[in-house]
Amino acid sequence: MLARWWLPACLGLCLAPGAGPAGQDRRPAAPATRAEKLLALHAEQAASYAIYRDEARTQKLELRREPVYRWSNPIRSNGQEGDVFVWTYRGRPEVIASIFSHPRDDRAERRLCHELLSLSEAVLVVDRDSPNRWEPKAPGVELRPVPGAPTPAPTPAQRATQGRALAREFSGRSLSEAGEGWELRLLPRPLYRYEGPDVLEGAIYAFVSTAGTDPEILLILEARKTPEGPRWAYAGARFSDMDLWLKHKDKEVWTSIRGGENTFNHDAQHRYRFFQDLIVPEIGADAPSGETRKAEAR
């Protein structure tokens, strides 16, 4: 399986226990820096989910404990900071989530938020001990052929190069509820690369605004096996509370416009879900992480 994620070495959580001096057990090192504490907090939230591809709960997704991407948005909600996590099944990503937090107005406390998106070809079943629920009603993103795409190349390196070139053919824009618009930029590297039983090469790309580095639109590109041979396919996906547009070259190919059942918190089929989950004491470099307490269900 091919999988890559970005995480600076300085933020790694070296939590594996081992034998200490004189035969004593060595306890896992507690996070020390503010960045480490935020990462540990966000990772703990991601680990609170048990996600399955079937009602019988026999096909459980695997959480990648290291985030595939870290982001910040200094102009929203007193400064947002987040981590993006992926859950996989047989190599293919089935769920991607942004777990992020920001100071409350009094800056003595911090609000934790969850933003979840199904990429699955199944209707997911999600278990979590919380009043805030995610209950997808349909499979995740719908993949379509990339217009004019070449036949996927024979080697992984060549297919990766093709995928990057195809991603650059897409462009995105967003519009906030206040009427502020952005022409989004494509991050040069995918958030995650993968292979799967029916996928020769897959990648999740992100479009971000100039306001920060948080993803607004996700672009999924896959070189898939088909009865006619391998073909490139794509899907656009909402990862934002804004109105969104995606173009391939000069043609609009996907939108997510707020209204009706496409609300601030979810789309019509609940493939996308956002909620504010917990409130915790603000985190400093030397302050303890503190106990969490539940916010109201949303």
12-53 confidence digits (pLDDT tens): 333 333 333 344 445 556 667 988 999 999 999 999 999 999
| Residues in a beta bridge with 219 | 205, 236
Distances in Å between the alpha carbon of 202 and those of 68, 88, 162, 293? 15, 12, 11, 39
With vertex at residue 217, the alpha carbon angle to CA 107 and CA 77, rounded to the nearest 5 degrees, is: 10
The least confident of 47-61, 71-85, 140-154 is: 71-85
Q: Return all residues near 259 (Cβ < 8 A) that are at least 6 apart.
A: none
Q: What per-residue confidence (pLDDT) applies to 74?
A: 82
Task: Quickly tell me which residue has 């920060």 as its tokens.
Answer: 212
Task: Quickly tell me which residue has 């089935």 as its tokens.
Answer: 94
| pLDDT average, residue stretch 207-220 | 94
Give the count of beta carbons closer than 10 Å to the beta carbon of residue 268: 12
Q: Return all residues near 21 (Cβ < 8 A) that are at least 6 apart.
A: none
Beta strands in the chain (DSSP E): 18-19, 25-26, 50-52, 62-63, 69-73, 80-89, 92-103, 109-118, 125-127, 144-145, 170-175, 181-186, 192-196, 199-208, 215-224, 231-238, 243-248, 251-256, 272-281, 293-294
For residue 103, which of 297, 294, 284 has the smallest C-alpha distance? Answer: 284
pLDDT tens sequence across 91-111:
999 999 999 998 987 778 999
Distances in Å between the alpha carbon of 218 and those of 109, 236, 262, 285, 287? 30, 6, 17, 32, 35
| Nearest-angstrom CA–CA distance, 289 and 282 | 8
| Nearest-angstrom CA–CA distance, 281 and 2 | 38
Mean pLDDT in the chain? 87
Q: Would you say residue 77 has pLDDT above 80?
A: no
| Nearest-angstrom CA–CA distance, 77 and 90 | 37
Tell me the Ramachandran region of residue 35: left when phi exceeds 0, alpha when psi lies from -120 to 50, beta otherwise: alpha
For residue 185, which of 214, 220, 148 has the smallest C-alpha distance? Answer: 214
Q: What is the pTM of this model?
A: 0.85
| Nearest-angstrom CA–CA distance, 9 and 25 | 25
For residue 96, which of 181, 232, 214, 254 has the smallest C-alpha distance? Answer: 214
Q: What per-residue confidence (pLDDT) applies to 27?
A: 54
Q: What per-residue confidence (pLDDT) applies to 76?
A: 79
The strand pair at 243-248 and 92-103 is best described as: unpaired
Q: Return all residues near 149 (Cβ < 8 A) that are at least 6 apart.
A: 162, 166, 231, 232
Radius of gyration of the chain (CA): 20
Q: What percentage of the chain exceeds 90 in pLDDT?
A: 73
| pLDDT average, residue stretch 155-177 | 97
| pLDDT average, residue stretch 111-122 | 96
| pLDDT average, residue stretch 261-268 | 95
